[in-house]
Amino acid sequence: MDKPGFNREQLKQALLKLDADRVQKILGREQAPDALDANSCVAELARCGCAVVRHPDASAYKRRARVADVVHDYIKGFPEAIAALVDHLKQATLVQSSYHEILHSLKGLPISQSPVEVQVWAAVEFGSAAIRQALRQMEEQRPATGSTLGFRRPTIENETGPNVSVDGVVWGATEVVGSILAMLGYEHRWFEAATGELVIPQRVAVDLAIMNEASRLHDLSLAWQDLEKGWQRVRYFGATVERKQQDLKFANHPEPILFDVLEFGPPTHWELSDFLAVLRMEQRFVANLQRLRLLEPKAADAYKLPNDPTLGLPGPDNFISAEEAVAYEYLSDTLFLPMAEEAEHVGDLPVKAWLRGYAYVSRYCAQTRDGTPILETVILSRTQVFEGLQSVGMKREWAERFLKHTTFAKGSRDLMDEPFVRMKGDELLFFAPGYRSPVLSTIVMSRVSRFKAALSKRGERFEDAVRGLFQRLDLPVKSIAYKVDGTSYDCDAAVIWERTLILVECKNRGLPFGYLPTLSHFCEDFLGASLQVVRNITHFLADPEIVRRAFGETVVWDRVIGCVLYATPWALGRMLPGYDVYSYDASSLARFFIDGHISIEAPRTLKNGRTVTRRHRIKLWAGSQPTVQDFLRELTSPTATRIARVGRVVGANFRETSYRSGLVIPEWESEPVTAAQILETIGLAAEEAQSVVKGFQDFQAMMDLLEAQSENPEDEKRT
């Protein structure tokens, strides 16, 4: 890929600081730019987002104007680049006005007249109360017999719209609390200069009236979050943004109200794919955890306790919770992280130290000693957490680093990755309600991605495992290294299957986790990986002897297909129009080769605590053994992705930013789906899908009947 005649990273840093002199020096004057230079310069200006000044600042406005003049002078003579710059500055003006509206509204809120410590703790307590209310509603609405099919996690009935995910409420409230803390931190300069850590006032009591006032603070925080995401979507994915007058209807107001609305363009399919990949990771963790508890109900007795002299970092037979055991297995065996190593790969910590740290937070900060979730905000001393981490096997220096990395600071995204907030006096706020059901494997992977850890051995272990899957079917598979015109190339796995040559490129990349700048880079890597496979195909078609040297002179094939195989659940099907190159993932590949089925389960817990599971299995193969045609059908339209996409539509929420002003950013949402819809998506005919659903319904009815007939514990045990 061609590179511009300037250092992109240096230019980015100068633009972020609005340092016009530095920008001019980096761009240089000695050599005239070409079209690539001009377009790249504007693209870098757009991506860094420096054209928007979030907080009104006359000095910043002047410095921004100087930067724009320097860039405009650099790109003169290139109409396309000048047009792009003008469009971007117009978009920035629209977005900036909404930031200022939010800040103006913030100052006008009744709660803003209260002391700052009251504002902070009202927001925190409001978030805790929202989570407790969601859990109460879930318990009140929990059906006595359980759901027919467990395709979705628990939801709360919503009279004014689609049902709401309980976990979504928990995570959303946790994210909003973190956003408010950051917003107030910038407003009142609470970020410590030396460390960047946020230091909030000591806890104060707040009454219900103040907590209700804080709800508006939460609303503005959601608007701020949406505005940040919309602006990123414009800069990184070319989304549109426009301001328009719209008549909006509200449930509590009979007549339409005219609003000035800033509306962003819709999300791309990349955002949905990222969301579904993270969702699949979480579902795998939850399913494995449920399976462990079902098959080994007394396994908790084997988990080690703090201050056990035999306790080391996570490893076989050395866990402090079921969640840690399940996360360790998933990170090691599915995502191929170096869990056994003590090398400090990620942010000067071993991966397993990250896991042990978050397992400690989940088990001993967010729960009581008997395992009951704590649904109130917890105040801990820094010493208490530091010593607690050491009590579960962390070295002193690792405990110090973990605590440093998990303390909320400038640039922190949420209270899941960085759950501790410093208070004056060096105590720590821990938002325990947000850690009601943390997915430890996802949190650890988020940190791996955040630190951009270079885990080279991950790729080697992954490639060995992939070749092993093909070898299970006795298929010839080779890793091929070769040269073309003196340049070295390689193919991670080449497979001959029924006169089809399959070329596999293995990629072990961290997921973007909803962060659009990272998603943009991920998409670039995705395209690069597909072109890498296309290059292999081109080389092998031009010189078949490369393949014959690896497999032998008698090998024959009629077709060549490529597959970019991800360790993370990133399976999108065809990658490039017109090319037989597909995106697939390791967990789907293992299910296809080893099991060959999609299992649908409906567990039913009886009154005596026992769980009975009704299971239906759907074959992924047409016959008793997989064929290359089965595999190509699965590559073209991955089953796991089809299931995850059912009911996903683009919707839009209106966020009020000030009186008669607001913004709309479309997002992917979930519509209610029936079990039959999902079964038909997997591939069942409509009649067969209805028959399977009836089988599950009959199972639940039978369990209801048997439980109703039980009159004593012995009868119930026989049931």
Confidence of residue 540 (pLDDT cuts 50, 70, 90): very high
pLDDT at residue number 97: 95
Confidence of residue 171 (pLDDT cuts 50, 70, 90): confident
- DSSP letter for 300, please: G
Which residues lie closer than 8 Å to 193 by C-beta, 6 or more apart? Answer: none
pLDDT at residue number 604: 80
pLDDT single digits (tens) 289-348: 877 876 666 555 568 888 877 788 888 778 999 999 999 999 998 888 888 888 877 889
pLDDT single digits (tens) 638-696: 999 999 999 999 998 899 999 999 999 999 998 888 889 999 998 899 999 999 999 98
Phi, psi of 466 (to 5 degrees): -65, -45
pLDDT at residue number 296: 67
The pLDDT of 626-634, averaged and rounded, is 95
Determine the Cα–Cα distance for residues 173 and 171; give it in Å rounded to an integer: 6
Confidence of residue 29 (pLDDT cuts 50, 70, 90): low
Q: Is the pLDDT of residue 498 over 70?
A: yes
**To the nearest whole number, what is the mean pLDDT of the chain?**
87
Residue 95 Cα distances to 73, 176, 229, 261, 657, angstroms: 25, 21, 11, 11, 12
pLDDT single digits (tens) 351-395: 999 999 999 999 999 999 888 999 999 999 999 999 999 999 999
Confidence of residue 26 (pLDDT cuts 50, 70, 90): very high
Q: Is the pLDDT of residue 193 over 80?
A: yes
Q: Strands across the sheet with 427-430, in order?
A: 199-200, 420-423, 427-430, 378-381
Determine the Cα–Cα distance for residues 563 and 582; give it in Å rounded to an integer: 5
Confidence of residue 157 (pLDDT cuts 50, 70, 90): very low
Confidence of residue 205 (pLDDT cuts 50, 70, 90): very high
Confidence of residue 454 (pLDDT cuts 50, 70, 90): low
Q: Is the pLDDT of residue 158 over 50?
A: no
The pLDDT of 416-441, averaged and rounded, is 92
The closest of 586, 486, 581 to 536, measured between CA atoms, is: 581
Tallying the residues shown for the chain, one arrives at 719
Confidence of residue 146 (pLDDT cuts 50, 70, 90): very low
Decide which of 708 and 154 is more confident: 708
pLDDT at residue number 685: 92
Q: Is the pLDDT of residue 2 over 80?
A: no
Decide which of 292 and 21 is more confident: 21
Torsional class of 552: left (φ above 0), alpha (ψ -120 to 50), beta (otherwise): left
For 422-453, give the DSSP string. EETTSEEEE-GGGGSS--HHHHHHHHHHHTT-
CA 328, distance to chain mean position in Å, is 19
Q: Which residue bears the tokens 């549109």?
A: 240
Range in 124-138, 193-207, 580-594, 619-633 with the lowest mean pLDDT: 124-138
C-alpha triplet 222, 223, 229: angle, nearest 5°: 90
Confidence of residue 98 (pLDDT cuts 50, 70, 90): very high
Residue 29: strand, helix, or coil: coil
**CB-hemisphere CA count at 13 Å for 92?**
21
pLDDT single digits (tens) 575-601: 988 899 999 999 999 999 988 998 887
Share of the chain above pLDDT 70, in %: 92
Q: Is the pLDDT of residue 286 over 90?
A: no
The closest of 411, 450, 414 to 197, measured between CA atoms, is: 411
pLDDT at residue number 295: 67
pLDDT single digits (tens) 701-714: 888 887 777 655 55
Determine the Cα–Cα distance for residues 552 and 261; give it in Å rounded to an integer: 66
